[in-house]
A = this chain, B = another copy of it.
Amino acid sequence: MAVTMNDVARVAGVSLKTVSNVINNYEFIRPTTRQRVLDAIDQLGYETNLTARSLRSGKTSMLGLVLADLSVPYYAELASDIMKAAWARGYRVLVEQSGNEADHERAALQGQFRSLTDGLLFIPLTLDAQQIIDAAGKKPLVLLGEFVEDPRLDMVLIRNYEAAAAVTTHLLAGGRRRIAVLGADDGDTTGSGGLRLSGYKAALADAGVQYDPALVMRCEWRRDGGAEAVARLLDSGAEFDAVFGLNDALALGALHELLVRGKQVPEEVAVAGFDDIEEARFASPSLTTVAPGRAEIAERAVELLIERIESNMAVPKVRQLEAAFELRVRQSAP
């Protein structure tokens, strides 16, 4: 059926192993021989069977990427960057959608999925560090710092706390004093939400502004969640002059709802987000947000994972990297 190395070898008049050597750029091959093999490959249209190579070599040259859902812009943009970074290093990426469900996350960590990949990039959403460690196999694993922090795991972290503080400080500097927060619970201290909320609180404290739990709205991190949370807030009669969505989707949903309700943005209510997805720049008004260093995260996570895969050190030092963030001031909160 398919053309194999054997066919190429026969046509080129060399051994199967020599064909393999040519393909793998083995050093000591006579140029004329190499050429004969290459010609035969061309003539027959031979292509390496990656499955066979993987079986024999034990490497698949694929990285797994586990995230909630590609239809969420932030994940899609991150996935795109990760795929480019991996591609540049000779790896492919196999994406698995966890749908934000613990069972799916666990299955992706163990499961057959692993046997297809050399290592895993994991954006944990429901599992905590201990659960991850329990569920994970022995293959290299790098967490993308959305959520979990633990000294036993490799990860590339977003500076959730500092970046959220920076956003809040910016809003305060604009004269806002009643800043609503969308996407957290009053008590949260862990996870992206908790860390960002803590940064918010710290910035308030620094500015001597009273923290009001009534302004903290719990909701799903989606556009409709943000819209719905703002609606609740408006209906409750609470006073506020700014909204901080803990991610851009929330902020954009909130922005939409505010405008629908006839609020002036930013005159009456300023709006800020977190993530700097592309959509933020083109919203009307454009959205002030903080860029968490997506490209850097993708690049460094891939680099770190591949380093783990290719170095065979038994117990290398755990590495935790932090990406630089940057405030993007736009119209919604000048």
Residues of A within 8 A of B (CB): 47-52, 54-55, 60, 69-71, 73, 76-77, 79-81, 83-84, 87, 92-97, 110-116, 223, 227, 252-253, 255-256, 259-260, 278-279, 281-284, 286
Contacts and interface: CB of A to CB of B under 8 A. Distances in A.
Identical copies of this chain, number? 2
A55 B48 contact: no
B60 A84 contact: no
Nearest to A294: B71
5 contacts: A48-B112, A51-B115, A70-B76, A73-B73, A92-B96
B227 A256 contact: no
Contacts of A94: 92, 94
Given A49-B115, A70-B77, 9 more contacts: A48-B112, A50-B115, A51-B60, A73-B73, A76-B79, A223-B278, A255-B284, A283-B283, A284-B284
A55 B260 CA distance: 57
A80 B253 CA distance: 21
A51 B54 contact: yes
Given A256-B282, A282-B256, A115 B80 contact: no
Contact of A71 (B60, B223, B278): B278
Q: Which 4 A-B pairs have the closest CB atoms?
A: A76-B76, A70-B80, A71-B80, A259-B284
B115 A47 contact: yes
A83 B60 contact: no
Given A69-B80, A83-B97, A112 B278 contact: no
Contacts of A260: 284
A201 to B, nearest CB: 28
Given A51-B115, A60-B51, A95 B97 contact: no
B112 A50 contact: yes
A150 to B, nearest CB: 23
Contacts of A55: 49, 51-52, 55
A70 B60 contact: no
A279 B281 CA distance: 13
Contact of A283 (B93, B111, B227, B284): B284
B80 A97 contact: yes
Contacts of A48: 112, 115
A70 B70 contact: yes
A71 B277 CA distance: 9
